[in-house]
Amino acid sequence: MIKEKRTIENNSIGVVKTEYFSFDSLTLKSGVKFGPITLAYETYGALNKDKSNAILVLHALSGDAHAAGIHEGQDNPGWWDSMIGSGKAFDTNKYFVICSNILGGCQGSTGPSSINSKTGKPYALDFPLISIRDMVNAQKHLIDHLGIDKLLSVTGGSMGGLQALAWLVKYPERIASVIPIATTIRHSPQQIAFNEVGRQAIMADGHWKAGNYYEGQAPIKGLAVARMIGHITYMSDKSMAEKFGRQKKDNAEPFKFTADFEVEGYLHYRGDNFVKRFDANSYLYITKAMDNFDASGGKPLQEVLQDVKVKALVIAFKSDWLYPAYQSKEIVKACKLSGIEATYCEVDSTYGHDAFLLEIAEETHLVSHFLKKVFYGYEAA
């Protein structure tokens, strides 16, 4: 079986600690007033005197607050460790980088698996329906708590890009720039369809019990299948061919429905590991929030962005068929029509959607120069 493991780089920022911020309540997009809310977050680097060097990094569907470094006594580099640190794309010698686990998550922030103070039990499906903008509104409370009036940039790939666009639309006065990566203004029918198949896999698991599984067996088989479906969309046909080919495992059993091919073993490995760290109900809530998201609220995005004074760098990848490049081009077109200074870069990668986590050299070059331009106020060479 081919396994993957993130490695700690020589120039890693080292040991980091997850912190927690709580506030009383938030009025959600649905009109429901919900609270209390806790957000898990991590910071890297130092905030300068005028608090002008802060960058908010926004994670994708399965991500968390741990974006860089390692935790004490653990070998667990953050999900973007190769991009955050000394001399990296988000250079912690210059910038103060923040990453928080989203509202609705299951890795330190308030979500369906959190305890409802009214019942003493996990919220489960009593947790209210949330939106991407609710996640962003919760993040704004954290940024206010940190005493930051204006972020130098907000950035993220995939669902992180949806959040970045929500910041651009909802709080343009609070950001100097935005870097959406491998994302879209709104989900296409195909993107919604993939998420729905994942949700149905979870809800078809006999252990789901309408979300009330916390005192017993979790619906791990359904969640594992949902993750397997996701990983198929994250890769490309070429990357799968290069990584696995039609190679079979040494212990393949002919004429039995076992995972004989290496690609099958990889998907099983990914699914089995995912269920150890993620909550099935969070998966349902988060994917639904993604599907319901529309950055422009049904209007042409260029109309919503009129008079917005923010610089934008939009990055896409040629082999990404989950969030194809045409969707990023739509973001750039809307920005330019609204008068926003926008740069578009399409990276020639074979990694598919996963490229935003893997094309480190290209992204570092693009992001570092863009941030210099925004931070120092000149055209970086």
Least confident of 57-66, 103-112, 242-251, 325-334: 242-251
Q: Give the Å distances, CA to CA, from 56 to 85, 136, 189, 345.
A: 14, 11, 29, 21
Which residue is catalytic, options 64, 81, 279, 320? 320
- Is residue 150 within 8 Å of 143, Cβ to Cβ? no
> Known catalytic residue: 158?
yes
According to DSSP, residue 149 is labeled: S
pLDDT given at position 5: 44
Question: How does pLDDT run across 320-356, given as a tens digit for each residue?
Answer: 999 999 999 999 999 999 999 999 999 999 999 999 9
- Is residue 162 within 8 Å of 169, Cβ to Cβ? no
- Is residue 25 within 8 Å of 65, Cβ to Cβ? no
pLDDT given at position 174: 98
Is a pLDDT exceeding 70 seen at residue 6?
no
Which residue is catalytic, options 131, 158, 239, 282? 158
Is a pLDDT exceeding 70 seen at residue 9?
no
Report the predicted TM-score, pTM, of the whole model to 2 decimal places. Answer: 0.95
Least confident of 4-8, 22-26, 30-34, 129-133: 4-8
Percent of the chain with pLDDT over 70: 96
pLDDT given at position 380: 44
CA pseudo-torsion sign 370, 66, 5, 281: negative
- Average pLDDT value for residue range 216-240: 97
* Domain 15-188+294-376, CATH: 3.40.50.1820
pLDDT given at position 4: 45
pLDDT given at position 124: 98
Which residue is catalytic, options 59, 141, 231, 353? 353
CATH 3.40.640.10 for domain 193-287, yes or no, is no
Is a pLDDT exceeding 60 seen at residue 3?
no
The residues spanned by each domain of the chain are: 15-188+294-376, 193-287
Let me know how many helices (H) and strands (E) the chain has, helices first.
11, 16
> Known catalytic residue: 353?
yes
Question: How does pLDDT run across 173-183, given as a tens digit for each residue?
Answer: 999 999 999 99
Number of other residues whose CB lies within 10 A of the CB of residue 3: 9
Q: How are beta strands 115-116 and 121-122 bridged, if at all? A: antiparallel
> Known catalytic residue: 291?
no
- Exposure on the CB side of residue 51, measured as CA atoms within 13 A: 13
- Most distant CA pair in the chain: distance in Å? 67
Give CA 150 to chain center in angstroms. Answer: 21
Mean pLDDT of the chain: 95
pLDDT band at 251 (very low <50, low <70, confident <90, very high): confident
pLDDT given at position 1: 37
Least confident of 47-51, 246-250, 276-280: 246-250
State how far the Cα of 341 lies from the Cα of 54, in Å rounded to an integer.
20
